[in-house]
Structure 1
């Protein structure tokens, strides 16, 4: 059964049956939340607060990888790190219903960080420093980051499919080759001998200001990586990116020293993220939710803009590490 077909079976009754299989009693109110890789719903509970039900995309992570994510979150929660951990029922946090793994977590309300708020950037740096200090032991089952391999595989996938317009392919191949060469050189200059556990996707939408404290959400992409992976996503295209970076690092170093050599990896991770995003949309294009949410993906304009993004990576290379 394909992932798309499996998700298509997540009708309201199936969602309620899954939630109630844990022993909770739903009030039948279901609200889909903004998630495409997995399926996430807010589900009302009788005489209690709503819960968040997350249904994992089949075939993406193994049971061992999901359990390691949950164990990490429970440990972080016990240590006082502000994260949202899964709810346990009779000692279990991961459940299987109709062939789909799912988990429940408490609903957290609040606001996402402001992109250019320097005080908040300092607080985010503190939070990520606290997280990295608490996650000191590398993952056993989760993936380890390999940005060069990611670029190679994503670009090959794009070039071998029919979505990238034929007339753009020669220019795309040249641009990917150029960025690949620059990434190889940068990784030769510095790549840590030991990777460390990181959140892996700590963009603003995965952070929530709740009761005057930032919380990290959605550890779906937690992995072995490098510290800067969890920091650079908070740098925005403003007039003072260096000041933003300074605030983040200063907050981070309230908990851990930051190896300044990692700044040279920002361009590598940025390039990989841009190529991977296009390849991800292409890979999931059979999923009706993607066609509805990203209708512009199949247009020539999208691919022109994507190519221009890659060219911008080359033009701006090294700005953050100088």
Structure 2
């Protein structure tokens, strides 16, 4: 991918292109499109001529390989087959500018210009609202569904997707930040020292508490990726966006649903695990990995912002990232994480 394409990877993805890709894939639209909130990919809601509504996800060029996307799709289809409430991709049909692999007909390659293609998938639109995570019964219900998701996740391993470990989500992103010049060794030396010490402590935490069992996970199971349906046979929570599915410990899919107020964490975790244990055993040693995993997410998130910073959408959405106070704040938070991990 050229430098200009990397800076603005979606410059050629206009509404006509989106509608053309859907038409070729067998989903003729009525001409309306609604762009949904997504920074990493481009996601559109599209009403069809037959009255149905679908969601089309166009993958960020260069982020995942075809093999990694294939594992995401197969995991979603496997979960749906097991009646875990996720939104799986739909089969596509090949068209004049659309290539579809017969072995995985849910992933399309749409040619915009010679040599430039967008990979995309289509799914049904499942509407919903934010879950009421302050309710014990809601937390227990989500816990039960996560246990069922993890039960499917334990059946086999990903061969191509990432593993949530210190190297992949900590050391490597940290080094990319430094190598790319986003961290100035003179100005930001506090962050450099704090991040290094915090990642050392993450490694010690994993060593102290034993290597956790690694399973296929949702990977990014925060409240925004859980939608609640109020009516019909599918009432209750369902999971969306398996874009970050990975190998990792089960607690990764639980801790991001906990409240920000630390005094309420224990009660929320009790209700989540109460539901989880209805379907799946849980290794309590993984509770000691919550702060280490939070630390990895902090470092990884900073690197994610830096690597996307030349995409025009990111400075608009995250203006504080370029502010002088950002690295100072991150330094303080990493030092706080270091103390929390030492107290485990």
TM-score normalized with structure 1 length: 0.93
Displacement of 1:86: 0.7
SS in 2 for 1:197: strand
Would you say the 8 A contact 1:159–1:169 is kept in 2?
no
Displacement of 1:124: 1.4
Aligned with 1:228 (options 236, 251, 261): 251
Displacement of 1:282: 0.4
1:216 maps onto 2:239 in alignment: yes
1:70 maps onto 2:89 in alignment: no
Task: Give the root-mean-square deviation of aligned CA atoms.
Answer: 1.9
Displacement of 1:116: 2.6
Q: Residues 107 and 187 of structure 1: is their aligned pair in 2 closer, same or farther, counting only changes over 3 Å? A: same
User: 2:86 is matched with which residue?
Assistant: 83
1:121 maps onto 2:139 in alignment: yes
Would you say the 8 A contact 1:148–1:272 is kept in 2?
no
CA distance in 1, matches of 2:220, 2:283: 20
Would you say the 8 A contact 1:203–1:233 is kept in 2?
yes
Displacement of 1:64: 1.6
SS in 2 for 1:41: strand
Displacement of 1:157: 2.3
TM-score normalized with structure 2 length: 0.87
User: 2:200 is matched with which residue?
Assistant: 181
Would you say the 8 A contact 2:212–2:249 is kept in 1?
no
Query: How do 1:1-322 and structure 2 match up within 5 A?
Result: 1=1, 2-89=5-92, 92-98=105-111, 99-135=117-153, 136-164=155-183, 168-192=187-211, 194-210=213-229, 211=231, 212-238=235-261, 239-317=263-341
CA distance in 2, matches of 1:306, 1:120: 32
| Structure 1 runs, 4 residues or longer, greater than 6 Å off | none
CA distance in 2, matches of 1:143, 1:160: 22
How many residues end up aligned between the 2 structures? 320
CA distance in 2, matches of 1:267, 1:100: 37
Displacement of 1:267: 1.4
Would you say the 8 A contact 1:74–1:86 is kept in 2?
yes
